[in-house]
Amino acid sequence: MTDNASLAARRDRAVPRGIASSTAIYADRAENAELWDVEGRRYVDFAGGIAVLNTGHRHPKVMAAVEAQLGRFSHTAFQVSPYESYIELAERLNARAPFSGDAKTIFFTTGGEATENAIKVARASTGRSAVIAFTGAFHGRTLLASAMTGKVTPYKRKIGPMPPEVFHAPFPTGIDGNTVERSLTALAYLFAADVDPERVAAVIVEPVQGEGGFHVAPTEFLEALRALADQHGFLLIADEVQAGFGRTGKLFGIEHSGVEPDLVCIAKSLAGGFPLSGLIGRAPLMDALDPGGLGGTYGGSPLGTVAALAVLDVIDEEKLLDRSTAIGERIGARVKAFAAAGLPVANLRGLGAMVGFDVTNAAGETDGAMAKAVTVAALEAGLILLSCGTKGETIRILVPLTASDAIIDEGLDIIEASLAKVAGKVTA
């Protein structure tokens, strides 16, 4: 019989230690917001494959679309023999792009490809080379994406010098003095001391930071970045890889601000569990590279594009944007109740169902070890839960938007019990 322990032993022998797993349970099957491991134990899933499953595990409409496509063909390479689903998906996303004017879209496979190609388009269209990102940002693990990511450990350790002309400024988390004013002052210093703003191709920002701790970019900050971009002629890139496709209560997180980006990076929940990423941009910018300058063998796979078309249908038909808002309100109310009951939580934040909060120690300080202990206790009780943040201090909730209230409440009950256990408290 295959079990978690034997698979872990095989993994240790066969898989590099550089790829980490948050849990030691090995999946056997899953449906919507539930997962069963190889030993038959059931878990409530509050991770969603790291924000990939806004429409849940194996949504029937997504699975039906993929199964129908498998009966036709699985791969041609769009650069060799293109196909209609790629074009249709681009058309539908162009129509819903969070900026005015004509849009064009290209598809890839991973989020890192989306962010890297955004920089290629920015450099080609502006004739400039420098990039500005922010502390706490996560833009992927490929080399340029790692350079843009605003955290050294574990993403930059041991891999040598980063690509040049990538600069960072503080992200305005609203915690520990990290205000919008401080961030904008840091940018002014950056322009004065390190990089001429006339050499900047783009600034890339997550409307809600993912790995960095679910911090929401304040509207006034995004407005200021838009103004700086317009003033100096560089582009504003919204990295919507984790915040997109309904997670925040809008199709794209930046829509909450009313600020229009020039380029939008997409991936994760775009295709309901199938590998697909993309870049949506203003049409003149997207046409800056010559034929062959963009692409990838598996980019925009026919299985991914038909799955994404189904995801867009599900988001609309099941009103998942409204559902995201309702889920976020439900989670937020419970977390506030945790705090009122004296449990060690602080700094509740987020948009829609992209909700995070910090775990604190006896001194009231945010504590990464405590947050990790909460996720371990939750897993023991049957809940898959992830932490994040620059010090691992944040609990993030990424439950599928298709989950029932009963499933959500079951997961929240486990979080409450886990917080109490870690804090040494006893709940009634």
CATH number of residue 105's parent domain: 3.40.640.10
| 74-126: pLDDT as tens digits | 999 999 999 999 999 999 999 999 999 999 999 999 999 999 999 999 999 99
Co-location of 230 and 308 in the same domain: yes
Co-location of 124 and 156 in the same domain: yes
Co-location of 290 and 329 in the same domain: no
pLDDT band per the 50, 70, 90 thresholds, residue 64: very high
- Which residue has 């060799």 as its token pair? 80
Q: Which of 264, 298, 317 is the C-terminal boundary of a domain? A: 317
Q: Is residue 65 part of a domain?
A: no
User: Which residue stretches of 218-282 are H helix?
Assistant: 219-232
CA 56, 377, 389, 411 torsion-angle sign? positive
Mean pLDDT in residue range 55-73: 98
Say if residue 285's pLDDT is above 90: yes
Q: Is residue 428 part of a domain?
A: no
Q: Is residue 218 part of a domain?
A: yes
Co-location of 142 and 35 in the same domain: no
* pTM of structure: 0.96
| 172-200: pLDDT as tens digits | 999 888 999 999 999 999 999 999 999 99
Token digits for 250?
A: 């809008």
Say if residue 257's pLDDT is above 90: yes
Q: How far is CA 42 from the centre of its chain?
A: 25
Q: Which of 317, 349, 368 is the C-terminal boundary of a domain? A: 317
Classify 393 as helix, strand or coil: coil
Which has the closest alpha carbon to 289: 263, 259, 267, 271?
Answer: 263
What distance in Å separates the CA atoms of residue 381 and residue 379, rounded to the nearest whole number?
5
Looking at residue 176, its pLDDT comes to: 84
* Cβ atoms 309, 65 nearer than 8 A: yes
Say if residue 357's pLDDT is above 60: yes
Q: Which of 251, 283, 317 is the C-terminal boundary of a domain? A: 317
Co-location of 401 and 295 in the same domain: no
Which has the closest alpha carbon to 122: 141, 144, 102?
Answer: 144
Residue 182, classified by CB atoms within 10 Å of its CB into exposed (0-12), middle (13-18) or buried (19+), is middle
* Cβ atoms 123, 234 nearer than 8 A: no
What distance in Å separates the CA atoms of residue 45 and residue 397, rounded to the nearest whole number?
9
Domain harbouring 385, CATH code: 3.90.1150.10
Looking at residue 1, its pLDDT comes to: 65
Backbone angles phi, psi at 370, to 5 degrees: -65, -45
Rounded to the nearest integer, the mean pLDDT of the chain is: 96
Counting Cα atoms < 13 Å in the Cβ hemisphere of 390 gives 16
Token digits for 264?
A: 């939008």
Co-location of 169 and 89 in the same domain: yes
Q: How far is CA 382 from the centre of its chain?
A: 24
Co-location of 403 and 274 in the same domain: no
Overall domain count for the chain: 2
Co-location of 287 and 311 in the same domain: yes
| 6-48: pLDDT as tens digits | 999 999 999 999 999 999 999 999 999 999 999 999 999 999 9
- Which residue has 């999946």 as its token pair? 27
Co-location of 313 and 323 in the same domain: no
Q: Is residue 307 part of a domain?
A: yes
Q: Is residue 84 part of a domain?
A: yes
Helix (H) or strand (E) segment spanning residue 27: strand 27-31
User: Which residue stretches of 152-235 are H helix?
Assistant: 180-193, 219-232
Q: Is residue 273 part of a domain?
A: yes
CA 16, 19, 24, 30 torsion-angle sign? negative
Q: Is residue 63 part of a domain?
A: no
Mean pLDDT in residue range 256-282: 98
pLDDT band per the 50, 70, 90 thresholds, residue 128: very high
Co-location of 84 and 173 in the same domain: yes
Q: Is residue 348 part of a domain?
A: yes
Cα 224–Cα 229–Cα 231 angle in degrees, nearest 5? 90
Which has the closest alpha carbon to 239: 118, 141, 401, 404?
Answer: 118
CA 361, 415, 395, 346 torsion-angle sign? negative
Q: Which domain holds residue 361?
A: 4-58+319-423
Token digits for 100?
A: 């005015």
Co-location of 220 and 106 in the same domain: yes
Instruction: List Cα–Cα distances, 43 to 285, 288, 328, 403, in angstroms.
Output: 45, 47, 21, 13
Co-location of 255 and 266 in the same domain: yes
Cα 164–Cα 169–Cα 172 angle in degrees, nearest 5? 150
Sheet containing 345-351: order of strands: 345-351, 354-359, 394-397, 386-388
